[in-house]
Structures are given as structure tokens and as C-alpha cells.
Amino acid sequence: MDDAPEPIRLAVGRLSGLPGVALESSPELISAESAWAIQFRLTSARFSEFVPKETCWVALVDGCYPTGRIRIFPAQENGLVHTFPHQDRNVVSGASHATWRTGKPCVDSPSQRLGRIAGGPEPRDDAEFRLRWHVERCLGWLEVAAVDQLMVDDEPFEVPQCPSELLNTRFTVIHDEGDDTWPAWDRHVGRYGEIHWGALPGFDKTIVAEEFFDAAGAQIRSCRRGSRPSEKPWVGYWWLWPSPIVIPPWHAPGTWAELRRTGVRLNMDVDRFIRWMARRAGGKEPVIILLGYPIPTLWNGAPVEVHWQAILAPEVPTKIEPMNGFRANERGRSERLRHDIFNGGKKLSYLKTANWHPDRLQARGRLPSEVRTRSVAVIGAGALGSAVAELLARGGVTEILIVDDDDLEAGNLVRHTLTGADLGRNKATATAARLEGAAPMSRIISHATRLPRGDALRTLLEPFDVVLDCTGEDDVLRRLGAAWWSVPRHFLSASLGFDASRLFLFGAHACCFPFEEFECAVRPWLGEERSRWTAAGETLEGPGCWSPLFPARSDDVWLAAVATVKYLERAAKGKIPDGLRVLEQRSDEVVVGYQPVELEEVM
């Protein structure tokens, strides 16, 4: 005790005489944790088959106390052995120095039930009472756990923690379940079937569930990425259980025997599923299984989506030999599967599994649904077009076409979203590939040749609700004006003035681009723009008359891209009428931004 820092000695002293708390040891320095270990015993007023009346615990207090971490774990001897909600998976620690298990309760959780028992904010920086607050919260957590009240009806549902000690890093498995896909699964609870896996371009060792089929081969649903099915798909298997796959109270099974016991409790026949799968998976490797169950948004609420967890199955041979002592028949092969290949003592091989539904991937910020649900064709993947396309993809637009026949040159790098690794590549193709990495669940395609005319143009752009031209070329707009689509769409031309100090936005909801209206609206501005070019002189990239450049800084291009997307957002909501809008950079002492400007103001 005398070796411990003064703040820790003071904190331990405050635990003495605390009801339900008995110190078991003096603080001991654990160098591997950079923390002091304090062992204590809790006596709970409430107990159950899962919560003994007395349990031993270890608090690890960082040496910088009263700042730093305080972690409380069940002791290995006479500690809590079960896993509950609001608790890390509770198994014996693999660290040689640890005298504790891994099941740290979440005592600083905002749980309403826990807050009523041991409420009040954590007294940070208070050496006397901060440790005491954590210990009191732990005792409160324990008493609530004893009566199965850690999760209350109006709190977010919590899935059991994936066993990190059993995690296989061979693959990462992606799916995209949400409330919009739950109706496809509602009638398949308790059933199983096949999955077709696909690779995610640009993501190492990452696969996505492309299609789900029932046991009869009928499609249930497909991934929103919309990839083309493979002629020889990589097949896996799914099994949808009726409720969370846990050993009570809240412990994910760690072996095939534990999975079988959980299946018995939930009326799910694990061996029957294994036999069904083995007939299809024999000789194939690797075989990945998705085990899932419906989950609500709030505890005890109605199901809203499927939660999946991937596991890697043991290798199943093409020919399954009967178990020793059994005939070469179905029973003999079943015994081999149960007692050898899927032996109860074998540990489950969990794979990292992630839900990339748009509601989760875009939770930190996205465009409104009026824009996200539109399919957008971006014509021109230069500085402005590539920036606009990136903002749309990161904002949640899931269907994007990028059109450009130009290749990336070194001079483009100063203001393009692509990098030196893409030099010589077609801008549209390279930009689409980049954005697939930024928005992996979106469908982003490219057209690497010049914008076509006539029927070819109509066919190319027919699927798209928004046609956004960022080329600044009249020829492109003439082609869009010469074509005709039976269903009106939103056309938007975005182009930069000299030095990117002005942004010209012309929008129209029509069956073709109204080029004559556009030309009439823009013509008065062209003379003023030419005078600015003349006054500044041409910027040349190299010697000769073929090297004039359009001067614009990258930050100005990005400012224009942001303004273009903001314009598109307001137009999609019906807040901007058709026609020309001219924006000009204006600044006060601090902020620079675009403001609408009329021609009379600049003449």
C-alpha cells in the first residue's frame, strides 16, 4: 500500500466501510498494464443462478490517477463467470500476468436502469471519490444483472459481443441488411439456404454477400451493389435463427457443442443443418456460414433487420467416410460429421462481419433522400467533375455514371482527385474505381469514350434521373439538346469562369437540354469573361500555341464543387426554378464563399 501513489492510496481508503464492498488486497503494480491492481469482494443484495451473492473483482487503475482509465474485471477465482448485456465477453484472460477474466462490465454506460441505482456523473479528477463511484456502479450493475434488468424496453438493442479470442482474420465478411430488407426475411425465420459471395474491388480479403437463395434455389434478395452474378459463384450458406444465438444470459457460443446446446434451447437442429450443408459443400473450401437472427431497434421491440455473424466451417471432404464402428450409410456419415468433422470440442472459427447498409455507412453525414435516391450521370471527369462525383458518392448517391474520354496527365494532379498512381489512365475509369473504394456499396460505372450522339446517347443516359455536365463545352450541351428522352430528367450544366471566381449553373427539368435557352442566358456574360482573360493574359503549360491552360486553384475548384452539389440538393427539393444562376466568390475579413450575382453588378 505504501508503494502506491498518494491519489490511489486516498481512493482505496474511501472504499473502506462502503456497504457491500470488502477490500481483498493492497494495490499492486502491474507493469504490463501500467496500472495498479486492487482486489475486492462485492456482496450483492440480489443474486440468481448467474449472479452469486458474493463475487471477487479486480480494479485496474492507471498510474496517472485520478485521470486515466479505471477498468473493473471479475477475478479468476470466485469471480463472475457468465456474460451479460452491457459487459465484455467474459472468459479467462490470455495474459500470463492477469488474475482476472475479460468480462469488464460497462459501468459508465448510459443505461437508464443502472443510472437509477447509482446515478450521477462520474467525478473525474476527484482522487477521493472517482474509484468509489466506479465500484458503486459495479455493485449496482451486479444487482441489476441478478434480476435480468440490464436492458430495458426503451433502450437500444445490444447484440452479444463477437468472441475476439476466436476471431479468424482470413476474411472480412460484408452484408447490407436493414429495415428495408427485413420484409424479404420475415417468412424465412428458422430456415437456411445458399449465399453467393463476391469480392469487393480494392478491399483486401473482403467478401460481400451478393445474393441469398432459399433451400429450393429461389432468390430471396440481392445486395444493393447490383453486381452481375458470376457464372461460377463462390457458394456459402445462411441459417436464420428465431432469436439471439447466445448461452444465457448473453454469451456467444465458442464451440460446436455450445452451438448445439444453444440450438436445443431454441429448437434449432444444428446437426440437421450440418448434414444438409455437407451434401452441398463436400470438397469445397473455404465454406463460410452466416448465422443470423432478427433484431429490433429497441430492446423487446419488433424485429427490424437481420443480424448476421460469419463463421468459417471445418473442411468437409468430398467423400465422407463412416465413423469407426458404423456401416457406410447415412447414419455412419452423420456420426462422422457429428463426432469428428464438427466435433463438439472444436472451437468455432468466427470471421469479422460488418453491416455496410447505407444507414450505417453514411450515419456520419449524407445528402438528403431527394438526392441520394437519384441516379446521376456526371459528364466530364476533370477537376470540377471529379470533385462533384466524389461529393455525390460520399454523400450517398448509389448510382453514378462518369463519362470522359481524356487521360490523366501530370499537370492535372494539382487540382484533380486522382493521384500520380493514375497517370495515363482514363479519367472516368480511374475516378469510378477510386469512388468504388470510397462508397463500396454503390454502383459507380464509367464510359471511357467521348459522349456519343443520337440513339447511343439516349441509351447511355436513359437510366439516369440527373444529367450533370461539368465539361464547360458547348458541343456536349448541343448533343444533350439534340437528343430526346420520353421521361423528363433534371439537367444541370456547371462551369467555371476565369480563375474559378465565378460558377455558372444552368438547370432544367426537361426531356432534353434546352441549349438555345442556355446560350441566350450565358451570352451576355461571355464578353465580360473574355475581358478578364484578356487582361490577365494566357497561362501556358509549356512552349507553343497548343498549351494554354484554364487557371484555377484546387481550393476554388472544391468550393465550386460544393456549391454545385448544394444547388443540386435545392433543385431536387424543388426550391430552385429552371434557368441560369451565376455565383461569384465574395469574402469578408474571414470567410470566403459564393454569392449570387447579376450581370449589371459587374459591368
Residue pair 177/209 in contact by the 8 Å Cβ criterion:
no
Quick one: which H or E segment has residue 531?
A: helix 515-536
pLDDT interval class at 151 (50, 70, 90): confident
Confidence of residue 63 (pLDDT cuts 50, 70, 90): very high
Q: CA-based angle 519:524:526, to the nearest 5?
A: 80
pLDDT score of 108: 75
> How high is the mean pLDDT of the chain?
92
In this predicted structure, what is the pLDDT of residue 118?
52
Q: What's the pLDDT at 532?
A: 76
Please give the CATH number for the structural domain made up of 369-602: 3.40.50.720
**pLDDT digit string (tens) for 230-272?**
678 899 999 999 999 999 999 999 999 999 999 999 999 999 9
Q: How far apart are the first and last CA of the chain?
A: 83
- Convert the pLDDT of each residue in 469-509 to its tens digit: 999 999 999 999 999 999 999 999 999 998 889 999 999 99
pLDDT for the residue numbered 602: 60
**579-587 vs 167-175, strand pairing mode:** unpaired
**Residues with Cβ within 8 Å of residue 434, at least 6 apart in sequence:** 390, 417, 418, 422
CB–CB of 145/45 below 8 Å?
Answer: no
pLDDT tens, position by position, 279-294: 999 888 899 999 999 9
Q: pLDDT digit string (tens) for 67-92?
A: 999 999 999 999 999 999 999 999 99
466: helix, strand or coil: strand
pLDDT for 530: 79
- How many CB atoms neighbour CB 223 within 10 A? 19
Report which of residues 10 and 588 the model is more confident about.
10
Quick: pLDDT tens for 162-207: 999 999 999 999 999 999 999 999 999 999 999 999 988 889 999 9
Task: Reply yes or no: is the peptide bond before residue 249 cis, omega within 30 of 0.
Answer: yes
Strands laid side by side in the 399-403 sheet: 443-447, 399-403, 375-379, 466-469, 489-496, 502-510, 579-587, 592-596
Whether residue 132 is predicted with pLDDT greater than 60 in this model: the reply is yes
Domain assignments of the chain as residue spans, ordered by start:
6-146, 164-360, 369-602
Predicted local confidence at residue 545, as pLDDT: 39
Give the length of the chain. 603
Percent of the chain with pLDDT over 70: 94
- Model pLDDT, residue 115: 53
CB within 8 Å of 242: residues ≥ 6 apart: 189, 190, 266, 267, 268, 293, 294
pLDDT bucket at 385, cuts 50 / 70 / 90:
very high
What mean pLDDT comes out for the span 154-161?
A: 92
pTM: 0.90
Predicted confidence at residue 549, as pLDDT, reads: 59
pLDDT for the residue 598: 85
User: By C-alpha distance, which of 80, 76, 81, 71 is closest to 99?
Assistant: 76
Q: What is the pLDDT of residue 201?
A: 82
The C-alpha cell 455514371 sits at: 401
Q: Which residue has the higher pLDDT, 120 or 361?
A: 361
Q: Is 60 exceeded by the pLDDT of residue 113?
A: no
> How far from the centroid of its chain's Cα atoms is residue 88's Cα?
22
pLDDT at 284: 84
Q: Residue range 531-546: average pLDDT? A: 55
